[in-house]
């Protein structure tokens, strides 16, 4: 039987799997080391896991640094891609399944350009969710939080304790809220002409 080129004698490869840093968007990180890889580091998503490929000679500290760098790069690439309304509806369905047992089922989920003071809105009687176009390009976990927030309104109309308990299931709730608060605060800063 021919030898697997990635597992030839003299080219040991180590693979480790760990939990990701909070907010990375993946459930697990797999680091694959290769003696054939000299300088380059790459990463890709494989289902709900992130695979990071690094040279075998890297230290543990370098590995940790590069995993963090590559997670940030992947998140930036993903956040630049804008979901269309169909993809947004599918994402809402998956989030409802994952965090609410599939109980929140909107009839429509779409982007809108007429919401400049809110990130999203929900009309439970119609089963409709609308997200502000201003969210486009923000990190995935922020869009997911706003979708979950509006999905939760299909189950609990107000912002009482039952509503917030539903959102506790999402591990990046506080981080996403902080991100959005930072965007609002930055918009309120005075803009000095000519300042960069």
CA-only gyration radius of the chain, Å: 21
The mean pLDDT of 34-59, rounded to a whole number, is 88
pTM: predicted TM-score of the whole model, two decimal places: 0.60
Q: How confident is the model at residue 15 (pLDDT cuts 50, 70, 90)?
A: low
Which tens digit of pLDDT belongs to each residue from 70-102? Answer: 888 887 776 666 778 899 999 999 999 999 999
Statement: residue 14 has pLDDT above 70: no
Q: What percent of the chain has pLDDT over 90?
A: 55
Q: Residue 170: pLDDT band by 50, 70, 90 thresholds? A: very high
Mean pLDDT of 99-128: 93
Q: What band does 176 get if pLDDT is binned at 50, 70 and 90?
A: very high
Lowest mean pLDDT among 73-77, 136-140, 163-167: 73-77
């Amino acid at each position: 039987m021919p030898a697997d080129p990635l597992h030839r004698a003299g080219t040991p490869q180590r693979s480790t799997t760990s939990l990701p840093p909070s907010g990375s968007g993946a459930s697990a990180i797999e680091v694959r080391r290769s003696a054939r890889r000299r300088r380059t580091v790459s990463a890709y998503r494989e289902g709900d896991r992130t695979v990071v490929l690094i040279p075998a000679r890297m230290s543990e500290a370098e590995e940790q640094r590069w995993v963090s760098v590559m997670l940030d790069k992947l998140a930036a690439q993903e956040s630049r891609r804008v979901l269309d309304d169909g993809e947004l509806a599918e994402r809402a369905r998956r989030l409802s399944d994952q965090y609410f047992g599939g109980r929140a089922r909107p009839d429509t989920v779409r982007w809108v350009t007429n919401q400049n003071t809110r990130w999203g809105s929900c009309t439970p009687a119609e089963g409709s969710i609308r997200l502000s176009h201003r969210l486009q390009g923000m990190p995935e976990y922020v869009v997911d939080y706003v979708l979950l927030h509006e999905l939760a309104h299909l189950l609990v109309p107000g912002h009482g304790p039952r509503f917030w308990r539903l959102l506790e299931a999402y591990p990046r709730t506080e981080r996403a809220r902080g991100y959005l608060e930072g965007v609002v605060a930055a918009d309120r800063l005075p803009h000095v002409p000519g300042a960069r």
